[in-house]
Each structure stands twice: as structure tokens, then as C-alpha cells.
């Protein structure tokens, strides 16, 4: 997911949460945005873990 897409999803979620909408409408708008951001964060953390494993492996002389 691109950086601008993540920013847009976060902005939509914040606007929905702090708007004067009914609670159910807030939930219906903000929940999918937040779920998409959490899924993206999970993929990003997996990517960071792989980079760390490769970095440590290179320091130890192990090829992955």
C-alpha cells in the first residue's frame, strides 16, 4: 500500500471518529479503514523482521 493511501485511510478514520455522525455510522466508516491499516502494519512488521534477520545473518556470516 502506498504512503498516500495509508495517510488517506488514517485521515478518513479520524474524520469519521471526530465527526458529528451517529456512533453506528462512525463505526461503519472508521472500522474498515482501521482494519486495512492494521493489516498493512502487520505486513510491514513482517518485512522489518526479515530485514533484521538478514542483517544479523550477514554480521554472523550466514547467508539467507
**pLDDT tens-place string over residues 10-40:** 999 999 999 999 999 999 999 999 999 999 9
What is the pTM assigned to this prediction? 0.67
Q: What integer best gives the mean pLDDT of the chain?
A: 88
pLDDT at 61: 67
Separation between Cα atoms, residue 37 and residue 14, nearest integer Å: 12
Q: Are 26 and 33 in contact (CB under 8 A)?
A: no
Cα 44–Cα 48–Cα 52 angle in degrees, nearest 5: 170
Share of the chain above pLDDT 70, in %: 92
Structural domain total, the chain: 1
**What residues make up the domain containing 47?**
3-60
Amino acid at each position: 500500500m502506498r504512503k498516500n493511501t495509508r495517510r488517506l485511510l488514517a485521515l478518513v478514520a479520524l474524520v469519521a471518529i471526530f465527526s458529528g455522525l451517529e456512533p453506528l455510522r462512525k463505526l461503519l466508516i472508521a472500522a474498515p479503514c482501521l482494519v486495512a491499516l492494521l493489516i498493512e502494519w502487520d505486513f510491514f512488521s513482517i518485512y522489518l523482521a526479515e530485514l533484521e534477520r538478514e542483517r544479523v545473518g550477514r554480521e554472523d556470516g550466514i547467508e539467507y
